[in-house]
Structure 1
Amino acid sequence: MNKGSMNAYVLPGTELTVSGIAIGASSFGSEVDMEGSFRQLDEYVAYGGNFLDTARTYGQHSISERTIGDWMSVRGNRNEIVLATKGGQELGPPYVRTLRYKQLSRQIDESLNHLRTDYIDLYYLHVDDRSVPVEEIIDLLNDKVKEGKIRYAGCSNWGADRTAEANAYAARTGQAGFVVSEIEYSLAAVNHPNDPGTNNIWMDGAMREFHRRTGLSVCAYSSQARGFFTQLAELGEAGIINSMHKQYYSARNLIMLERLQKLSAESGYSVPMLAIAYICHQKRDFVTIPVISCLNTEQLQECLMADSVELDAGMLAYLEEGRYE
């Protein structure tokens, strides 16, 4: 893919035009130092990327937000960026959920300060708190839109039932609802079932049907399954069992790796490129933007090329077989 040629999409229900792949900044300023973060961000925009994904809780003292704020200030490119961040948790650990008006208002102001901007394009609620009525949450977010502090709101790690309830209330009252849901979504199926009481919601068959039915856009975090397929190929099964990837270790994910390796040998595309390209191709059902996280520009370049990978119907069916059982 030539630099500057990344595909772009309008998120339904918004005026936001975003690149086909978002860059996740969870490691910026911490695992990836300031200089390395700037290099990745520069490389990303050189490829035509404009969609940045961070959160107030990424890194000590919100270092990820601060790093992005410094980069935008130095580059003078804030108006060229679609900026997404997340709130609803206090800095931790422990990461206590806070979706009440006073706490969330403070968090938005803190994020604006860290990011050195006066508005956030897309503000996610990082996790749900089912003790807080959706009416209160939607009213709060619309107040912040009216104040000009956020442009649009999204939910992250929310169950389909609460997402639908919130958007139904917004529609009844003539207010803006959630325009995007950010959930874990990759070719690797997670071992544990979805539980609205946990911090992570992932794309299973029921969630996929919800998005097909409603058309609600998805931003897919952990779109590379946290490097599971690459690590499995490099370390073997013994290495994976004792790693952070244990949540993905299963017979069907081993089969998925075999299929990715087979398609890689036939197509010449790498396994990471194919895994991300699969998420890119979900736009045939609803707008789906993979969020990628990399440790260096070499990894980033490989991942960004996935935006131009073409998967035909047969390849997609081959990868999907058994994924949503």
Structure 2
Amino acid sequence: MKEQWLQLKGERRTLPKLILGTANFGDPSREDLAQEVFDAYEELGGRVFDTARAYGNGEKALKRWLTTINPDSGRSRMAQRNQYTIITKCCHPKSGSSSPRVTPKAVREDLNASLRTLGVDYVEVLLFHRDDETMAVGPLMEVMAELLAEGKIGGFGFSNWSQKRITQAIAYCRKNGLATPIANSPNYSLAQVNGQRWPGCLTADEEMLRWHTQNQLPLLAWSPQAEGFFVPRYESENGKNHAPTDYVAAYFNTVNWRRLAAVEKKATEKQLAPTQLALAYVMQRPDFPVAAIVGTSSVTHLKEAWEAQTISLTNSELQQLACD
């Protein structure tokens, strides 16, 4: 397996196979549940959290967890802030609007708001949450360089950017002596998507995966379990009447039904949950560093996902799961 690390400013930090996402805790009523899941993740050994301003209460819930005083030690986790890696994002369209916000001004506005909400002075990684291809990459790379110099971020990267745009950004940074991006976070799972559920999102296709192999930029996969497709949430085409319309449009196709059947068969053979097998498929890329961002509101499901890191699949088994 490829060595897993993120090259932060002045530090080489381990990149785990499993990152805990906070998108499931956007509703303030789930904040207590978030604390339970965060606790369980830490107890398992997890230290890397993915969040964003667009996730509602996610950053606030993470702040509460980081600042809660341990009655035994009399200290909060902030006393050991360097043990935790926080990934947050900028430049998402405002709620109810589709207008792009990919500008240097929006980068600063969003990061400063996130730092206040999280109660921290810096984050390890800042990702562009969306792209606007009419915006030149130069000013965007320059503002990231400024934030690095100010100590507000340890590194930066992209979510939902094409490899063409990422290549342009890397070229600009190299030409101008700036720090280069350290990660890319597209949608990536065993499921083959028909189209995106949300505007501005991007799924890693074979061309992007080849690009990652060539460039060795770490890939942080969001929705690595295809939003529960391999639970399975909807057994077959018969489930179409029960599934959200946009979910049907994204995931319902003959390739995915075949892959679901292959996952269920192999999971039975290995005595695993189908979701564990589908997640292991993502985390076992042998050709470049990859981590899976898992969003769950269940400690039981979190533990299953954690165990998926230890599942060993042969090349033949990987090919069997990805049957077309």
TM-score, with structure 2 as normaliser: 0.90
Runs of 4+, deviation exceeding 3 Å: none
Q: Deviation string for 1:9-36 (max 9, x for gaps)?
A: 3125762213220011002251871111
Distance 1:313 1:31, change over 3 A: farther
Match of 1:105 in 2: 108
1:72 shift after superposition = 0.8
**d(CA) in 1 for partners of 2:233 and 2:115?**
39
User: Per the alignment, in what secondary structure is the counterpart of residue 178 of structure 1?
Assistant: coil
In the alignment, structure 1 residue 133 sits paired with structure 2 residue 136: yes
1:142 shift after superposition = 0.5
Residue pair 1:89, 1:95 contacting (<8 A) in 2 also: no
User: Per the alignment, in what secondary structure is the counterpart of residue 42 of structure 2?
Assistant: helix
**d(CA) in 2 for partners of 1:115 and 1:106?**
14
**d(CA) in 2 for partners of 1:21 and 1:137?**
29
Match of 1:85 in 2: 88
In the alignment, structure 1 residue 266 sits paired with structure 2 residue 269: yes
User: Per the alignment, in what secondary structure is the counterpart of residue 167 of structure 1?
Assistant: helix
**d(CA) in 2 for partners of 1:31 and 1:157?**
26
User: Per the alignment, in what secondary structure is the counterpart of residue 25 of structure 2?
Assistant: coil
Structure 2 residue corresponding to 1:11, chosen from 3, 6, 12: 6
Q: Deviation string for 1:214-258 (max 9, x for gaps)?
A: 11110000001000121345x542224542331110000000001
Residue pair 1:183, 1:218 contacting (<8 A) in 2 also: yes
Please list, as runs of the form range in 1=range in 2, the aligned pairs for 1:50-129 lying within 5 A after superposition.
50-59=47-56, 63-74=57-68, 75-76=76-77, 77-94=80-97, 96-129=99-132
Residue pair 2:7, 2:155 contacting (<8 A) in 1 also: no
**d(CA) in 2 for partners of 1:218 and 1:276?**
14
**d(CA) in 2 for partners of 1:72 and 1:137?**
30
**Identity across the alignment (%):** 26
**d(CA) in 1 for partners of 2:28 and 2:323?**
36
Please list, as runs of the form range in 1=range in 2, the aligned pairs for 1:215-226 lying within 5 A after superposition.
215-226=216-227
Deviates more, 1:9-18 or 1:32-41: 9-18
Residue pair 1:154, 1:180 contacting (<8 A) in 2 also: yes
Residue pair 2:156, 2:182 contacting (<8 A) in 1 also: yes
Match of 2:154 in 1: 151
**d(CA) in 2 for partners of 1:256 and 1:232?**
14
1:107 shift after superposition = 1.3
Q: Deviation string for 1:85-141 (max 9, x for gaps)?
A: 001124312254222222321211110001110001000000101121101100010
Match of 2:45 in 1: 48
**d(CA) in 2 for partners of 1:116 and 1:302?**
31
Deviates more, 1:285-294 or 1:185-194: 185-194
User: Per the alignment, in what secondary structure is the counterpart of residue 181 of structure 1?
Assistant: strand
Distance 1:250 1:31, change over 3 A: farther
User: Per the alignment, in what secondary structure is the counterpart of residue 33 of structure 1?
Assistant: helix
Structure 1: any 5+ residue segments left out of the alignment?
Answer: 1-6
TM-score, with structure 1 as normaliser: 0.89
Structure 2: any 5+ residue segments left out of the alignment?
Answer: 69-75
Q: Deviation string for 1:202-222 (max 9, x for gaps)?
A: 021111111111111100000
In the alignment, structure 1 residue 20 sits paired with structure 2 residue 17: yes
Structure 1 residue corresponding to 2:188, chosen from 161, 185, 189: 185
Aligned residues: 309
1:321 shift after superposition = 3.5
**d(CA) in 1 for partners of 2:98 and 2:242?**
25
Deviates more, 1:67-76 or 1:258-267: 67-76
1:8 shift after superposition = 8.6
